[in-house]
Amino acid sequence: MGFIKRNYGWIIVSILATLPMLVIFNMINIDVSNGFLITLNQRADGQGKSAIEMLYHVSGEFAIRWMTAVLTLTPVFIIFGKTNLFVRQAMGIATALWSLLHFLIFIWAEGFLETFTQVNYIAGFIAVLILVPLLFTSNRKSMKLLKVNWKKLQSFAYVVIFLSLLHVVLLEKTWLIYAIVVSLGFVVRVPFIKNKIINFRKNRKIAKP
């Protein structure tokens, strides 16, 4: 019970990040009778989308959803005064893994050189490159080793969200909701607004009988 209590955030995030993989596994056929052959279903849904299109969609959507969720944690802390650094790390790892999966699916389908043929692909590729060091330093040991530089390194997550939004905008995907959430998060971070919210929260707490 002690382990669960200390790591409940990690456990919840891990479950939420893993469950969508069931959708992906449902699109894949694995044949072990003639070696180890992986193929895709010809149709993944009733709307005529191919499996590879659905793989693009699912992996990309969950990558940017987790990324947006990570960036909302600071505004949540400012508004409610609640935070959990290790939950943030778990969510960051989920973001990086889904982004890497999205990129690997792209390479599988289109080839690595296709990455450099369009601006939106290049933006996505740079975002993935930045996520790699963020992924490998999302642990307590790296925090102790890098100290102040750890926060500086993790701040590159803002560059990642910008590149990711650029990636989906140029692909003409549904991006407005993510842009709105991220923008509101940055508004809450503005020092004047941030201080007003924190002071209001503190005064309200003091006023309680």
Please give the pLDDT value at position 141: 86
DSSP count for the chain of H helices, then E strands: 11, 2
Window from 124-133, 135-144, 176-185, 188-197 with minimum mean pLDDT: 176-185
Per residue in 78-99, pLDDT (tens digit) is 888 776 667 888 888 899 999 9
When divided into structural domains, the chain yields a total of 1
Kindly indicate the confidence band of residue 8, based on its pLDDT and cuts at 50, 70 and 90. confident
- The reply to whether 74 falls in a domain is yes
The fraction of the chain above a pLDDT of 70, given in percent, is 80
Please give the pLDDT value at position 76: 83
Kindly indicate the confidence band of residue 131, based on its pLDDT and cuts at 50, 70 and 90. very high
- Predicted TM-score (pTM) of this structure: 0.81
Pick from 35, 161, 22: which is nearest to 91 by CA?
161
- The reply to whether 209 falls in a domain is no
In this prediction, residues 145-149 reach a mean pLDDT of 87
CA distance 63 to 134: 14
Pick from 108, 93, 91: which is nearest to 24 by CA?
108
Whether the CB-CB separation of 69 and 115 falls below 8 Å is answered with no
Please give the pLDDT value at position 186: 82
Each residue of 179-198: b (16+ CB within 10 Å) or e?
A: eeebeebeebeeeeebeebe
Per residue in 150-191, pLDDT (tens digit) is 888 888 888 888 888 888 877 766 667 778 888 888 888 888
The answer on pLDDT for 15 being more than 80 is yes
Per residue in 33-55, pLDDT (tens digit) is 666 666 666 555 555 566 777 78
Pick from 65, 49, 56: which is nearest to 16 by CA?
65
Please give the pLDDT value at position 17: 84
- The reply to whether 198 falls in a domain is yes
Domain boundaries, position 56: 2-204
The fraction of the chain above a pLDDT of 90, given in percent, is 10
Q: Determine the 3-state secondary structure of 39 from DSSP.
A: strand
CA distance 20 to 139: 24
> Encoding tokens for residue 32?
């072990």
Please give the pLDDT value at position 85: 67
